[in-house]
Amino acid sequence: MIYTLPKGSYSEKAAKEFLKFLDGEYEIGYCNNIYEIFEKIDRSSLGVVPIENSIEGSVSLTLDLLLEFDVKILAEISLDIHHCLIGYDKEKIKIILSHPQALAQCRKYIKKHGWEVKAVESTIKAVELIEDERYGAIADRDVVKYYKHLKILDENIEDYKNNKTRFILIGYKKVKFKKEFKKYKTSIIFELKEDKPGALYHVLKEFAERGINLTRIESRPSKRRLGTYIFYIDYENGLEVLNSVKKHTTFIKVLGRYPVLVE
């Protein structure tokens, strides 16, 4: 089983892309939200969740759950995201519904129309909540295949071109792919040993000295005390740097070394 968000969501689209590369048969299991996906995954199943968007940045719930659960990142894929306005009649819309990430990616568009905004668990939940003409949802164009009573009222409504979301395949056991991939990444989470000048610099220096390219650095609150952070770093290729990074940290978690299937 491969768990993801409901049928018609962007995450389901990503799951179908992963399936093209995975060796083996997997059925798609649908969950209402990202938390449920992490909870459902067991030793024999997988999950697909969004992790980062080119307009809105990190999906912070995914980052937090990667720390909380012991799952590994097994692969990543990026998809072009083109949002549509879904509903009955654009002129009659008063309330716009969607996932917070999708709403944020269309902020200017929504503001221009002066609609009231309601955030829900997924783009599909938004579509399902369209009770009448007063409601509109932001979702993928393909949803009208499943919700035939609704129409695409506008297309490409994201505020910036080249809108992309990165999705990760997660699970507890290794998976096999049908082909070899050229690009690999490693993702780690750590907390700095000391809060002193240059503390983060010493970690970054370990990467710089080895000529290792960082592809992302992000921080999340430690949730213990205001102003204390957990760092998330993605870097290209090997694990060789880890022992040196460990010296500067109180804890370090390796989320995995995994292939980039589609950039």
**Residue at shortest CB range from ligand PRE:** 9
* Residues, the chain: 263
> In the complex, which residues of this chain contact ligand PRE (CB under 6 A)?
5, 9-11, 50, 53, 59, 81, 99, 101-102, 122-123, 165
Q: How far apart are alpha carbons 79 and 62 in whole angstroms? A: 17
Beta strands in 5-115 (DSSP E): 28-30, 46-53, 57-58, 72-80, 84-87, 95-98
**Pick 33 or 219: Cβ nearer ligand PRE:** 33
**Pick 101 or 186: Cβ nearer ligand PRE:** 101
Using CA atoms of 113, 116, 135, 141 in order, give the dihedral in degrees to the nearest 10. 60
CB of 86 to ligand PRE, least distance (A): 12
CB of 79 to ligand PRE, least distance (A): 8
- How many CB atoms within 10 Å of residue 137? 30
CB of 219 to ligand PRE, least distance (A): 20
CB of 68 to ligand PRE, least distance (A): 18
**Pick 216 or 246: Cβ nearer ligand PRE:** 216
Cα within 13 Å of Cα(251), Cβ side: 7
CB of 34 to ligand PRE, least distance (A): 7
Residues 6+ apart with CB under 8 A from 176: 22, 23, 24
**Pick 9 or 187: Cβ nearer ligand PRE:** 9
Which of helix, strand or coil describes residue 258?
strand
**Pick 242 or 260: Cβ nearer ligand PRE:** 260
